[in-house]
Each structure stands twice: as structure tokens, then as C-alpha cells.
Amino acid sequence: MGLRAPVKASFDVSGFPTDVQVILIGLKMHGMIVADSGADWYVGGSPDPRRNDETLPTLDLVVGSDFEVVDTSSLAPVVVTSDAARTAGASVAVAVANVAPRVRAGGTASEVAGALLTRHGSFADPGADSWPGAADWGDGSARTALRLRADKTFTLAHRFPRVHGRSYTVVVTVRDGDGGRGSARFRVALR
């Protein structure tokens, strides 16, 4: 009970009488609320002088597979108050899309060939996820898993080859538990 079920957007209403089309378009936009889980689905209503009650039986042609179910667990209550202190409330569907982590690893670095590069980085992600991270050093060495701290920081440490005058692009990637992936790049010039 309380299940919201709109008519599918793809459902063709053109073959129905005009006053029934109005009802079906309203059901597409707003859906119906299932009031009893013990009977087969049907659309009920009461007589109204604004419509032709003789055309209502054509609603029997709309079957359960013509509806879709809306997950109402994501409905958020909204209350609007006008300047005249009139208040209206409703529930609206809120779809929260995943936001990929934003990674900060700093800008271009210059390092002595063969010396250990160490720098700190961070990431931001609004989700309550777990985050694996890795660094690709760009020098042909194996990717390194990052130890991401609870405060969303990490330390990069890598020893580049002893080759003067070369530069490498480092890519730091952090993934979230919802499939999002963020990365940051910076160049390291060896002197």
C-alpha cells in the first residue's frame, strides 16, 4: 500500500476518448497510489459532472504492465511558504547522482634524478564510501597502491630513474564505492 505507479511515458493515449486522455496524461505525470494490495489493479473513481462517465470503462484497457513502479524511498518532503505566510507541502523525488572524487596532487615538480620524490595530496568525495587509490608514475615502473587516510589525504613517494633531463607524467587516481573515478596529473622533471 502506498506504492506510486505512473503510466509509462511510452504508453500511447491517442486511441482513448479525450476526457480519458486527460486522466491518462495525469497518471503519466503524477502516477496513482496503490491503495489496496489485496485485489487486482484497476483504476477507480467517482462520478463527476466535468467528464463523460460513460467513457470511463475504457480505462479497463490499461493493464498493470502499462504502469511503472517509482521508488518512493528517495522522496524528500518540501515545504514552501509564500510572503503571505501561506504554506504548501509536497514530496518530490530526489535522484542523487554519484559525484566522482576530486583529487589534488600538486603541480609540476623538479627533482634530482635518482632522488626520492615525496609530496602530499588529498581528495574530496561527498559520499560515505571506501576509496582505493593508485599512482602511475609514468616511468614504466609498477603502479603503486596509495594508503588513503580517513581525513582523505595521502603521501606520494617514488624514486625515479637516474636519467637527467627526462620528465614523467604522474597520474594519481582515486575511485569511490559507487563507480566514480577521479584523477590528478602532474609532471616531474628530472635534473
| pLDDT tens digits, one per residue of 100-111 | 899 999 999 999
Phi, psi of 150 (to 5 degrees): -60, -30
- pLDDT confidence tier of residue 160, bands split at 50, 70 and 90: very high
Residue range 7-28: mean pLDDT, rounded: 90
Which one of 2.60.40.650, 3.40.50.720, 3.30.1280.10, 2.40.50.140 gives the CATH number of domain 102-190?
Answer: 2.60.40.650
- pLDDT confidence tier of residue 76, bands split at 50, 70 and 90: low
What is the DSSP secondary structure assignment for residue 151, as one 8-state letter? T
Radius of gyration of the chain (CA): 29
pTM, to two decimals: 0.53
Q: Which residues contact 27 (CB under 8 A, 6 or more apart)?
A: 6, 7, 43
Residue range 115-121: mean pLDDT, rounded: 95
- Judge whether 189 and 164 are in contact, CB under 8 Å: no
**DSSP 3-state helix, strand, coil percentages of the chain (rounded to 5)?**
15, 35, 50
Of 3-7, 54-58, 83-87, 131-135, highest mean pLDDT: 131-135
pLDDT exceeds cutoff 70 at 15? yes
pLDDT exceeds cutoff 60 at 1? no
pLDDT exceeds cutoff 80 at 70? no
Q: Which residues contact 189 (CB under 8 A, 6 or more apart)?
A: 108, 109, 110, 111, 166, 167
H-type alpha helices, the chain: 18-30
Phi, psi of 166 (to 5 degrees): -90, 155
pLDDT exceeds cutoff 60 at 36? yes
Q: What is residue 119's three-state secondary structure?
A: strand
For CATH 2.60.40.650, list the domain ranges present in the chain. 102-190
Q: Which of 5, 16, 4 is nearest to 57 (CA)?
A: 16
Residue range 5-27: mean pLDDT, rounded: 89
pLDDT exceeds cutoff 70 at 125? yes
- Judge whether 136 and 171 are in contact, CB under 8 Å: yes
Cα–Cα dist 106/47, whole Å = 70
Placement of cell 500500500 in the chain: 1
Cβ–Cβ contacts within 10 Å for residue 170, how many?
A: 22
Cα–Cα dist 7/20, whole Å = 13
Cell numbers at 132, concatenated: 582505493
